[in-house]
A and B are shown apart, each in its own frame.
Chain A
């Protein structure tokens, strides 16, 4: 190769780095994460209800061998379940409000709209007897992409009883006020609907918080799809965020929905656990985002992942 050609080559390499525009299907240097696990992760258990305002420094006796053999134990939230007016900056109101955001993401989320909790203004809680507990909230949410904020009211019911079940949410939110994501959504949909090469990527963001510009919509989509999981897994003792998209792989379009297999890490704040889920996300501008085939992957504590090169 002539020196002149090498020069051109090097300048182009430099320029491409300067533009910061790698291809959409770029493979980023892999970060080796905690690998495919073997034991199941139990769901956080119901809180122990303590009736009086007695000193909270109570030991939880770990009596039975069965409990000791459980590979994971989430600390029990020994607390008086507050009712009435709640401090909006304290965690009970915040956890309920986070559930609202997960619900809104399942309804309104897209590769260009990803809601987050900005502030809780007011919160009350009431006991519903056997039916569980209900939170009434006034919150400000923010689209993490455009920064647009909106305030709405919401109700969250955490079902009672041993079966538990996902929280039920209703809100006064009527949908995104700005419609300018429509053009972007259509363009993305068309680009990946007709594309010969199916998209794939991993580690969004990477260890350094970097997401290639072309992959950002798929990071957002992963976050929105994860809200389906985080909504159904939420209780008064959890607070979920998506920590990272481990991998995303596009499948063939079906019924006009773009489809992606996602592998995600969720962070649960109270237990501080990183929880690995797989799911199938389907999306179109008309239908929005749907998640299915959600599967919890157990944690493997001692195995080393294969070294990727």
Chain B
């Protein structure tokens, strides 16, 4: 009997580790058994940040190959430059074993810089990094705490001055609308990258400040990662009920108690026991009031592909309905110019439904004329679980609409 050579091919999804067993039987027939064994269970739900040190050109080249694989959805914090500079990459849970296999194959050294990075932690880290790398443009303000004690962070983009007229943007008030927090993160990076290069943005920032709250509902956001992807509300318990949470977009003091919100704690549109009962909402209310010079306020949601303005609680048209309508039309035309994405626009109550206690009804009645709500992609095919490959296009096209609104506010002081 000669020597048997077994060549077995085993294909597993990256969550498994393949165990290969080759047995040589009479007449050199190989029997291969491939068993997929689950390893590193916690890998499922945790992302890691790897610090990678390439020692030569071959390894650098291997790293560049890895970066190019879009489907791994790697987030390069410090990119591939040369052999003396480590590369920091945030690796989502589902790509971890693929990436580590690749690194092991090329015998590339790496260490786990952050072993157990929650997605919302990574946004906090990103915010801090943006501030530390751009101290002359970006600062972070903690405007309050969530019910579970998480900091509520706002990034301030400013080129100076005192109490300049300002634009407010928020994303993630409804935690399941993940494309919005992701877009907010991109907006922050984009402001930093294009200030000084984009004429329109530079002109805006030379006159006005931009405030950006990316994770407006941090408790809800954490919950969508740990327990329930479809969670919308805050995570505050309701006394006398087994149901948790208040709809933060029904909790504002505008038409509060009227039709267009629920009085039941178990409902997704529960208004809460009273206006501003939620600390996540109160923090913004207090901030806006004490700032006193907000000129535009944009609250970003998903999905439906709409650009909406007040009112939601009443059919009576807003005093500035005409101007808001025209500006909305311009904004969505610019949005569509990038990828052809079609948006509808109009007042909340006409376009989508009656809603009371909503954010922009309150901000408008505070005198912030350019108050808008976006509903981003898509129109229902993926809904809340929009695939990663649509995030960047969504953020980019939305930015064009935001720029239209911000530019108009900047040129039309009141």
Docked complex: B30-77 residues within 8 A CB-CB of A? 38, 41, 44-45, 69, 71-73
CB contacts (< 8 Å) of A71 on chain B: these are 243, 264, 266
Closest-CB distance, A78 to chain B (whole angstroms): 4
Q: Determine if A244 is an interface residue (Cβ-Cβ < 8 Å).
A: yes
The 6 A-B residue pairs whose C-beta atoms are closest, nearest first, are A209-B387, A241-B380, A272-B268, A302-B242, A73-B264, A301-B243
Q: Quick one: given A14-B105, A32-B228, A58-B259, are A26 and B13 in contact (CB under 8 Å)? A: yes
> Is the Cβ of B262 less than 8 Å from the Cβ of A75?
yes
Interface of B is mostly: loop
Collect the chain A residues with CB atoms within 8 Å of residue B313's CB.
57
Q: Would you call B384 and A267 a contact (CB within 8 A)?
A: yes
Asked if B385 and A301 sit within 8 Å, CB to CB, the answer is: no
- Which of A16-24, A151-159, A164-172, A179-187 binds B? A16-24
B172–chain A nearest beta-carbon distance, Å:
15
Q: Is B339 an interface residue (CB 8 A)?
A: no
B383 to A243, Cβ gap below 8 A? yes
Q: Is B208 in contact with chain A by the CB < 8 A criterion?
A: no
Please determine whether B227 and A304 come into contact, CB atoms closer than 8 angstroms. Answer: yes
Bound together, the chains give a CA A74 to CA B354 distance in angstroms of 12
Mark each residue of chain B from 97 to 119: 1 if its CB lies under 8 Å from any CB of chain A, else 0.
11001101100000000000000
When distances are taken between beta carbons in the complex, the residues of chain B under 8 Å from A116 are 379-381
Q: Which of A2-10, A125-133, A188-196, A277-285 contacts B (4 or more CB under 8 A)?
A: A2-10
Assuming A34-B230, A71-B243, A305-B227, is B351 touching A91 (CB within 8 A)?
A: yes
Are B257 and A17 in contact (CB-based, < 8 A)?
Answer: no
A270 vs B260: C-alpha distance when bound (angstroms): 9
Q: Are A207 and B385 in contact (CB under 8 A)?
A: yes
* Residue in contact with B258 in the complex, picked from A57, A74, A265, A272, CB distance below 8 Å: A57
The residues of B that contact A301 with a CB separation of less than 8 Å are: 242-244, 266
Among B14-22, B140-148, B185-193, B283-291, the one that faces the other chain is: B14-22
Q: Which residues of B contact A78 (CB under 8 A)?
A: 259, 354
The listed residue (B105, B344, B379) touching A7 by CB distance below 8 A is B105
Contacts of A243 in B (CB 8 A): 230, 383-385
Alpha-carbon gap, A28 to B12, bound state (A): 12
- What are some 30 contacts across the A-B interface (CB < 8 A)? A7-B105, A10-B101, A10-B104, A14-B105, A17-B69, A29-B94, A31-B229, A33-B229, A55-B316, A57-B313, A57-B356, A58-B258, A59-B258, A62-B263, A75-B259, A76-B259, A89-B351, A91-B353, A116-B379, A116-B381, A207-B385, A209-B388, A244-B383, A244-B385, A267-B383, A271-B268, A274-B268, A299-B266, A302-B243, A302-B244
Is the pair A56, B242 in contact by a Cβ cutoff of 8 Å? no
Which residues of the partner chain B approach A33 to less than 8 Å between Cβ atoms?
228-230
- Specify which chain A residues have a CB less than 8 angstroms from the CB of B242 in the assembled complex: 301-302
Smallest beta-carbon distance B42→chain A, Å: 9
**Does B277 reach chain A (CB closer than 8 Å)?**
no
**Which of chain B's residues have a CB closer than 8 A to the CB of A20?**
71
B18 touches A9 (CB 8 A): yes
- Rounded to whole Å, the gap between the CB of A13 and the closest CB of chain B is 5
Return B275 CB to nearest CB of chain A, in Å: 14
Q: Is the CB of B262 within 8 A of A13?
A: no
CB contacts under 8 Å to A, within B217-274, are: 224, 226-230, 232, 242-244, 247, 255, 257-264, 266-269
B262 engages A73 (CB within 8 Å) = yes
Contacts A14-B101, A14-B105, A206-B385 given: A270-B353 contact, CB under 8 Å?
A: yes
Contact B243 A1 (CB under 8 A): no
User: Is B346 an interface residue when CB atoms closer than 8 A count as contact?
Assistant: yes
Residues 311-325 of B, flagged 1 when their CB comes within 8 A of A and 0 if not, give 001111000000000
B residues contacting A by CB (< 8 A) are 7, 9-15, 18, 20, 38, 41, 44-45, 69, 71-73, 92-95, 97-98, 101-102, 104-105, 224, 226-230, 232, 242-244, 247, 255, 257-264, 266-269, 304, 313-316, 342, 344, 346, 349-354, 356, 379-388, 390
Q: Which residue of A lies closest to B342 (CB)?
A: A119
Q: Does A90 contact B (CB under 8 A)?
A: yes
Q: In the bound complex, do residue A87 and residue B354 qualify as a contact, i.e. CB atoms below 8 Å apart? A: no
Q: Is A210 part of the binding interface, using a Cβ–Cβ cutoff of 8 Å?
A: yes
Interface bits A52-85 vs B (CB < 8 Å: 1, else 0)? 0101111110100000001111111111000000
CA distance A158 to B78 in the complex (A): 58
Cβ contacts A272-309/B at 8 Å (1 or 0 each): 11100000000000000000000000010110110001
Candidates B9, B14, B350; contact of A17 at CB < 8 Å: B14
Minimum CB–CB distance from A61 to chain B (whole Å) comes to: 10
Q: Which of A12, A89, A242 contacts B346 (CB 8 A)?
A: A89
Chain B residue with Cβ nearest A54: B315
A226 CA / B65 CA spacing, docked (Å): 42
State whether A208 touches B259 (Cβ < 8 A): no
**For the complex, what is the distance from the CA of A13 to the CA of B226, rounded to whole Å?**
28
Query: Within 8 Å of chain B (Cβ to Cβ): is A160?
Result: no
Q: Does A144 contact B (CB under 8 A)?
A: yes
Q: CA separation between A207 and B44, bound complex, in Å?
A: 12
Contact (Cβ within 8 A) A16 B11: yes
Given contacts A31-B229, A91-B353, contact A10 B105 (CB under 8 A): yes
Q: Give chain A residues whose Cβ lies under 8 Å from the Cβ of B266.
A: 39, 71-72, 299, 301
B381 and A208 within 8 A (CB): no
Q: Which residues from chain B contact A27 at a C-beta distance below 8 Å?
A: 13
A80-137 interface with B by 8 A CB criterion: 87, 89-91, 116-117, 119
Chain A residues within an 8 Å CB radius of B244: 301-302
A119 to B342: give the CA distance in the assembly, Å. Answer: 10
Tell whether, in the assembled complex, residue A77 and residue B354 are in contact, meaning their CB atoms are under 8 Å apart. Answer: yes
Known interface pairs A34-B230, A91-B352; A56-B388 also in contact (CB < 8 Å): no
Q: Is A269 an interface residue (CB 8 A)?
A: yes
Chain A residues near B388 (CB, 8 Å)? 208-210
A205 to B259, CA, bound (A): 34
Contacts of B316 in A (CB 8 A): 55-56
Name the distance in Å between A205's Cβ and chain B's nearest Cβ. Answer: 5
Contact B267 A18 (CB under 8 A): no
Contact A55 B314 (CB under 8 A): yes
Contact A209 B267 (CB under 8 A): no
Task: Select the residue from B73, B243, B384, B385 with max chain A CB neighbours within 10 A.
Answer: B385
Q: A32-B227, A267-B380, A309-B41 are in contact. List 11 more A-B contacts (CB 8 A).
A: A9-B18, A12-B10, A12-B18, A13-B98, A33-B229, A39-B266, A55-B314, A71-B266, A72-B264, A209-B382, A244-B230
